[in-house]
Amino acid sequence: MTKKTMIVTGASGGMGLVCAQEALALGYDLILVDLHAQGMEQFAQENRHQAEINCYALDVTSNQAVVEFAENITQHGAIDALIHTVGVSPNMTSWQRIIDIDLIATAKFLEAVRPRLAKHAAAVCISSSSGYMVPENEAIEAILADPMAEDLFYQLEQLPGKPLENTGLAYSYAKKALRFYVANAAKAWGSETKRLVSISPGLINTDAGKKEFEASENFEQMIASIPLARLGVPDEIVHTALFLVSEKASYISGCDILVDGGMIAGMGKAV
Ligand SMILES: NC(=O)c1ccc[n+]([C@@H]2O[C@H](COP(=O)([O-])OP(=O)(O)OC[C@H]3O[C@@H](n4cnc5c(N)ncnc54)[C@H](O)[C@@H]3O)[C@@H](O)[C@H]2O)c1
């Protein structure tokens, strides 16, 4: 059987590194991407005897770096799957960088890589359950509905009260918009017999995740309100992502899969 190749982004830590480990165990060759080289390079050094593993240290918000990446990866042959975990959370950075990384760069990365994916390939990107928690806001959502718009930040800055200067809101609306982006883009992906899906994790016990929810005052209460009454672990997101890019998920596209222990349903907000 010929080996399959998967791109995993965010591969130097958190869910991305777990994804690389699990994909390796399934026999994939790997193309790893992260802003920080160290975690993925170490993983590659330790595992190159098992599979072909190539690492690309780049900032996904750099158009030039992403275009060069998309050109370079043609040398690795057919690419069967993409799992894009790159993302930043509300306490990490500015509201602009959150919108840029979690929405704009994610959409651009997916589009840059799509032509390089083999027929019947699938891509998964990571949204968030917080995208289900924010109230509908027509003005914000209309602007974020076109992540490629050159004047997107100008438009956001014109909003009365500049609501997205709150990084928590910026994160939630960016992730909500990513969910809708996936739904809208699925037709173009489908026209090439490719699939695109998002996953919305709940509270997942990665280092980055812990920093976010442990900072919140009602942490214990939040956990208690989850039907499964616990945090999720990275494996639970990764196993879902690996299923979604597999042939077993061949009729799943253009939708979002909540992997949150029932948290959103418990809040009465499931859609
Ligand atoms: N952990 C949670 O509870 C949780 C919940 C919901 C959604 N998510 C989402 O899941 C994804 C993974 O989360 P995680 O907890 O593993 O986070 P993480 O911070 O551990 O991993 C994200 C990775 O992305 C990389 N990265 C960040 N900015 C980059 C850039 N500009 N260019 C290239 N690489 C960049 C980081 O270096 C890091 O290795 C993110 O999209 C996050 O928003 C996480």
DSSP string, 83-151: EE-----TTTS-HHHHHIIIIIIHHHHHHHHGGGEEEEEEEEEE--THHHHSPP-HHHHHHHT-TT-TT
d(CA 108, CA 62): 10
> Tokens representing 155?
């438009």
Minimal-distance CA residue to ligand 1 atom 23? 10
Question: How close is the Cα of 225 to the center of ligand 1, in Å?
Answer: 24
Q: Which domains does the chain have, with CATH numbers?
A: 5-266 (3.40.50.720)
Full-model pTM: 0.98
Q: Is 232 in the pocket of ligand 1 (CB under 6 A)?
A: no
Give, for ligand 1, the residue of 8, 82, 89, 237 to mutate: max count of ligand atoms closer than 8 Å to Cβ: 89
Q: How far is the CA of 71 from the centre of ligand 1 (A)?
A: 24
Which residues, 6+ apart, have CB-to-CB distance to 151 below 8 Å?
A: none
Nearest-angstrom CA–CA distance, 19 and 7:
10
Ligand 1 and 172: CB distance under 6 A: no
Q: Is residue 37 lining ligand 1, measured as CB closer than 6 Å?
A: no
In this predicted structure, what is the pLDDT of residue 1?
61
User: Is the Cβ atom of 10 under 6 angstroms away from ligand 1?
Assistant: yes
Q: Give me the tens of pLDDT residue by residue for the chain, a chain 271 residues long.
A: 679 999 999 999 999 999 999 999 999 999 999 999 999 999 999 999 999 999 999 999 999 999 999 999 999 999 999 999 999 999 999 999 999 999 999 999 999 999 999 999 999 999 999 999 999 999 999 999 999 999 999 999 999 999 999 999 999 999 999 999 999 999 999 999 999 999 999 999 999 998 888 778 888 888 999 999 999 999 999 999 999 999 999 999 999 999 999 999 999 866 5
